[in-house]
Amino acid sequence: MGCDGGTIPKRHELVKGPRKVEKVDKNAELVARWHYCALSQEKLRRPIVACELGRLYNKDAVIEFLLDKSADKTPMEAAAHIKSIKNVTELNLTDNPAWSGDKESIKGDKYDDIQSACFICPVVGLEMNGRHRFCFLRNCGCVFSERALREVKTEVCHKCGVPFQEEDVIILNGNKEDVEVLKKRMEDRRLKSKLEKKSKKSKPAESAPRQEPTEDSPGPSKPKNEKDCINTNSGEKRQIIFTKSSDNGNSSVPGKVNKINKASSATVKRSIADSEEKSEAYKSIFTSHSSAKRSKEECSNWVTHTAYYF
């Protein structure tokens, strides 16, 4: 079977086979990672920050992302783990003296060298273009090549002298294995910080001293400035007044107890019939007077619950 003009098509022209997997250009991928922001896809410019997974961002793009609280905010996978500005570290980069910038390639009549970069390692001098592995320190933000940290082993930063540990070293734009290790460290670090905050909040509550009842604080057993009546063996009532000791030196014992005798107390029970101050007419009003009492002859044989029966 032929087509117009007597041509004979071949099998691969008529039968569609499986699609070939499109391969990503390595050079283009390196340029996108090391020269452009992972959030806004704009060119990296100072100040440049890096997250705990080793991705590079423009600081203003991260701030705009955090300030955007709208409901229609598009979810960004590259910045989903960034919850606050504390989750990123501003990088202390070293400029490349051989970097001429983008001014010469504006006209398009000159070859654009992808291998060159505007930042280098301050120890070894390697360019930060993605061909070599770079890392930064969380404590100070200084950026070095992995070769520099491996060859010159030290526990302080090569640039500023700040001490660091192995967990503080974060690889920039690492592979999948590096990202998994950094993600696990990030989760452990955040969980540890949450536990420390909870322990700090619970410590002040536990360390607060419990208030014990004192003379100044009110309590059920010793009320402040109250009068207590105590019955003695003789059946008489006496009042005890609790007073504080004064600073004039009148009493050497705090909380001195003053006892008021029966003669000086106005609240002690006394019979009105025995009182000498009252008149007989006033005393006769009460049932305790002798005129209100009946003799045995006047009393009846049965018991009555009246006020006049004695």
Residue 297's pLDDT is what?
A: 66
pLDDT at position 73: 78
Query: 215 near 223, Cβ under 8 Å?
Result: no
**Tokens at 148, concatenated:** 């520099």
Report pTM.
Answer: 0.57
* Nearest C-alpha neighbor of 310 from the set 284, 287, 282: 287
**Dist. CA 240–CA 231, nearest whole Å:** 11
pLDDT-based confidence at residue 285 (cuts at 50, 70, 90): confident
pLDDT at 48: 95
pLDDT of residue 248: 45
Q: What does the pLDDT look like over 78-133, one tens digit per residue?
A: 888 999 999 999 999 999 988 877 655 555 556 566 677 889 999 988 999 888 99
Range 259-286 average pLDDT:
66
Q: Is the peptide bond before 47 cis (omega within 30 degrees of 0)?
A: yes
The full set of domains in the chain, from first to last, is 25-66+80-100+115-174 (3.30.40)
* Amino acid 223: pLDDT: 45
* Sheet order of strands, 134-137 included: 143-145, 134-137, 169-172
- Burial class from Cβ neighbours inside 10 Å (0-12, 13-18, 19+) for residue 88 reads buried
Instruction: Say what percent of the chain tops pLDDT 70.
Output: 67
Which pLDDT value is given to residue 237?
46
Which pLDDT score is estimated for 25?
A: 79
Name the residue among 55, 43, 118 with its Cα closest to residue 88: 55
What percent of the chain lies above the pLDDT cut of 90? 32
Q: State the amino acid at position 45 in one-letter form.
A: R
Structure-model confidence comparison of residues 111 and 145, the more confident one: 145
Q: What are the residues facing 230 on neighbouring strands?
A: 238
Return the SS3 of 202: helix
Q: Work out whether strand 94-95 and strand 88-90 pair parallel, antiparallel, or are unpaired.
A: unpaired
Residue 53 confidence (pLDDT) = 93
Q: Is 237 left (phi over 0), alpha (psi -120 to 50) or beta?
A: beta
Measured distance between the N- and C-terminal CA atoms of the chain, rounded to whole angstroms: 146
For the residues 67-81, what does the mean pLDDT come to? 83
Please give the Cα distance from 299 to 141 (Å, whole number): 112
b or e along 7-35 (b: 16 or more beta carbons within 10 Å of the residue's beta carbon)? eeeeeeeeeeeeeeeeeeeeeeebeeebb
Q: What are φ and ψ of residue 151, in 5° steps?
A: -80, -40
- Tell me, rounded to whole angstroms, the distance of Cα 291 from its chain centroid: 85
| 220, pLDDT greater than 60 | no
Residue bearing the bigger pLDDT, 18 or 55: 55
pLDDT in the model for residue 249: 45
More confident residue, 305 or 292: 292
Q: How far is CA 62 from the centre of its chain?
A: 23
* Alpha-carbon span 260 to 299, nearest angstrom: 43
Dig out the tokens for 237 from the structure: 């009532």
pLDDT tens digits for range 30-46? 888 899 999 999 999 99
* pLDDT in the model for residue 234: 44
Average pLDDT across the chain, whole number: 76
- pLDDT tens per residue, range 241-271: 444 444 444 444 444 444 444 444 445 566 7
